[in-house]
Structure 1
Amino acid sequence: MKIGQIIKEERTHRELTQEDMANEFFVTRQLISKWENDKSYPDLEQVVKISEYFDLPLDYLLKEDKKMINELNFDSKKKKWMKYLIYILITLSFYLVASFLLISFYDGTFLTKKDIEITKIEKILVPEKKLKNSKTGQELTLAEDIEYTIYFKTNKSFVDLSDVSGYNLGMDKKQIVTQIRVGRKIFGKKIKEGKIFIRSNRELLSEYDFEDDNTNMNKDIYLYDPYKTNKNIDRKNISSYADLLFTKEELDKLPITKGKIPY
């Protein structure tokens, strides 16, 4: 006997209407009618409740209705997969929100040598210049200098080079150290090409009566890598915190380009 027929017989035996049973099971009268006419099947939870309500064994309700059993098996598998899908979606949503918050709060990042591809470098001659020291009143002659514009691009995720800032981090008698700090962007179009400006520091340094080695002449160019640094960093060992971009020999071979880098 099919479950629909059992439900109908048990209901009529107890002189219940379809409306009475619908109220008891918190469903519509139309759904009770569909059960009784085999147009729809109760789910597993409803079958258990029917068993308890009519005081009937579960196997009595199910054993002869193969179509009903197949329907319940399919429904159980569907619910199982739905649970897995919901779990996956919740997990993905958590990681997306966490990534969004991390990138939103961390508004800047550094690019290292491995993050960029240099496409071009321009060398601009800065001529000799007379200047008076504001502290001593002494007239100084600023030596001829070189400025560089380094063009590069990057494919690093979430990096937007519309807000790039590349500048001299420091120098000594042999090296120039520059760094690239960029903006972060999750959505929308991202600019992936930028410039590093190696400007002359001769006017600034002259205010402090630096020695004559305060130009960019005859120096290697290094790119700062903050991920190399640690508490025991050796400032005398530049390779411990920066990567070589160009040697002075490579820079000497570059032609002079006319123009002026922006300040």
Structure 2
Amino acid sequence: MRTPVTMNSIRIGITDCARYANYERWFLDAPTKVDVIRLSYNLNNMDDIDKCEGVVLSGGEDVDPRRYKRPDLLGRLELTDIDEKRDEFEWEIIERALKLKLPILAICRGMQLFNVYHGGTLIFDIPTVTNINGHAKIQGMDQRHEISVGEKTLLNEITGCVKGAVNSSHHQCVETLGTNLLIAARAEEPVVEAIQWRNAHEKPFYLGVQWHPERMVDQNSPFSYNIRQAFLDYIIEHREPSTNDDENTPTHPSESV
């Protein structure tokens, strides 16, 4: 288990979603003190990203397939599973986070959107395209499966593992990788479970995971605890001294939709 770096509170932004409270709780329960900003088109608070020291792209709806040049898939997806306003808002969140060189942790849909932002594509439905099952929820419950972690990847460094078990509740995954991205973990072929920058140590922290570390049953698993702590430790180790001035500390709503 990683030992947390101790310092004054960290300010992170988490993109809004139906299960936002799970993400917020995960970070508020961290050994390192964290303040959370809810980033949402419903709050019209894009500019709050300027107050953040890191960004978490949360899970949720399918990414609009028109964003990866597959409008033909619209007829094969339920439109209730797409939120165009959210896609647009979070597209700009990614753009601004990259310009600000903020560390990014992307979870499930967040990883998929980040990949699409960089020119990648998605397998729109794993069972339909690959005949592979075992990744989507069953009767509302997460499934569990093994993953293989690439040696010398960022995920390998963070977890110290080359194999492990994670929860699973997705029906889509990365197909073609976006520019300058690297696969860090897989389940069975061709299901991608984690991605990172190709030159990870030359860029700000980015890790995308397909599972949900914020709601794993074993919160001490290196695929949950270590990921959160690595993200927070990176922020502390790379922050400017002035970013923790009390006068700049915002207040953050914690209610969930």
Larger radius of gyration: 1
Q: So what's the TM-score if we normalise by structure 2? A: 0.20
Q: So what's the TM-score if we normalise by structure 1? A: 0.20
Point out which structure has higher relative CO (alpha carbons under 8 A, 6+ apart). Answer: 2
The structure with more strand, counted as a fraction of residues: 1
